Structure 1
Amino acid sequence: MQIAKQHINFKNEDLVLTNHRAIYWEKENTLILSDLHIGKTAHFRKHGIPVPDDIFQKDLERLKILINHFKAKTLLIVGDLFHAEANIDFNTFKFWLAQFEDLQIHLIKGNHDRVSKHLITDFNIKLETEVKINELTFVHEHLKVHSNSFTISGHTHPGVMLKGKGKQRLKLPCYQVTKNQIVLPAFSLFTGLNTRSKPKDAISYAFTETSIFKF
């Protein structure tokens, strides 16, 4: 897996955007991501929709590579770590977590994170409504109340539409960055891309499996 990086300065903090849907914050030794949606693939299969099981496995493998590459000690997840009720994917995630003895996980509660407090405790996850570190505020969804804050959020699954010759179209996930806001792409590969909404004056950092570019 090739890891491409784009350094940006956000409220005097050096953040590293990666082409694998997560930001690394070296000063805090933290990986920041959003919308992993654990349980979504199993939920669809339970309802008769033939979704390949390896989609979730690929998400976890990418995350493992990122954790090991950056030697991250903390995962800060800005919402929707989980997708639905507990299912077999939750057991897979618990087994996967066991390999990281010292990894701390902080979860900003998202609209899909409706699992029980007992389950959160079982995963040793610290659940928050929002987190503020230095001058940065981490929330699931950026709202008007946050307009004077420097926020990092998720929720909208941002993407860009590239137009080629004729009717050729290509959708890519992206980060949306303004002077006081970063919207993260969904970490899960099993999510749609929202190419229709974009914060005012945002720069999009789109990416492929090998590179990152802005426009």
Structure 2
Amino acid sequence: MRSFSQAQALIAESVLLDSRLALFHERENWLAVADLHFGYELSQRVAGRLVPFWGMESIEARLCQLLRDYRPATLILLGDLVHDKTGANEFFSLVTRLREQCDVILIAGNHDAQIKRTDLRDSFATDRFEFHHGDCEREQNGCIQIIGHFHPAAT
């Protein structure tokens, strides 16, 4: 197992949960991250709310650090890539930079309906795992489902 300064937990065979909100599969060499909501602060400013610019920069820094630490062959972004279309241009600029380091799979989420790109997928599968955003019911195919969408909450 790799050793970094961030907290990690082995949650299944070869699957690490990283406290930086990511899953890494050591043998299959993929890294999965969900619900970036990139550009949230831009959409809030367009709506007239004066919020600081912090989210996009911190998201990019976190993703770049994860890529440096794990060196995955594939980064899987599991939907809600952007908060709304306001942040789409900045997001796809980020994707271009990330693709210089590894393959990037983009899975559409419910917040991504306004962005039209041919490289957005509904799902992605490996031999053992199926990745999708989780906002729509899917047929079970025997794979372990990796989803986003359900934000942590306490009720």
Name the TM-score, length of structure 1 as normaliser: 0.61
Residues 107 and 123, structure 2, Cα contact 8 Å, conserved in 1: yes
Percent of aligned positions with the same letter in both sequences? Answer: 29
* Mapping for residues 128-147 of structure 1, pairs under 5 Å: 128-141=121-134, 143=137, 145-146=139-140
Matched, 1:152 2:155: no
Pairwise CA distance, 1:55 = 2.4
2:72 & 2:82 partners in 1: Cα distance?
21
Q: Which runs of 5+ in 2 are unaligned?
A: none
- Report the Cα offset of residue 150 of structure 1: 2.0
Q: Shift of residue 100 of structure 1?
A: 4.8
Matching residue's letter, 2:70? F
Give the C-alpha shift of residue 92 in structure 1: 6.4
Give the superposition deviation at 1:76. Answer: 0.6
Alignment of 1:17-32 (within 5 A): 17-32=17-32
TM-score, length-normalised on structure 2?
0.83
Q: 1:53 to 1:65 in 2, by over 3 A?
A: same
3-state SS, counterpart of residue 77 of structure 1 = strand
8 Å CA contact retained: 2:39, 2:91? no
CA distance 1:40–1:98, change in 2 (3 Å): same
Report which structure shows greater RCO (CA 8 Å, sep ≥6): 1
Alpha-carbon separation, structure 2, partners of 1:149 and 1:72: 21
- Structure 1 position 98, deviation (Å): 2.5
Separation of aligned partners in 1, 2:131 and 2:100: 25
Q: What one-letter code is carried by the residue in structure 1 that aligns with 2:22? A: A
Q: Does 1:111 align with 2:107?
A: no
Cα distance in 2, alignment partners of residues 59 and 25 from structure 1: 21
- 2:65 paired residue number: 65
User: Higher helix fraction: Structure 1 or Structure 2?
Assistant: 2
Distance 1:100 1:136, change over 3 A: closer
Q: Which has the larger radius of gyration?
A: 1
Call closer, same or farther: CA 1:22–1:101 in 2, change over 3 Å. Answer: same
Aligned partner of 1:78 in structure 2 is 78
- Aligned Cα root-mean-square deviation (Å): 2.5
Equivalenced residue count is 151
Whether 1:2 and 2:5 are equivalent positions in the alignment is: yes
- What amino acid does structure 2 have at the position aligned with 1:94? S
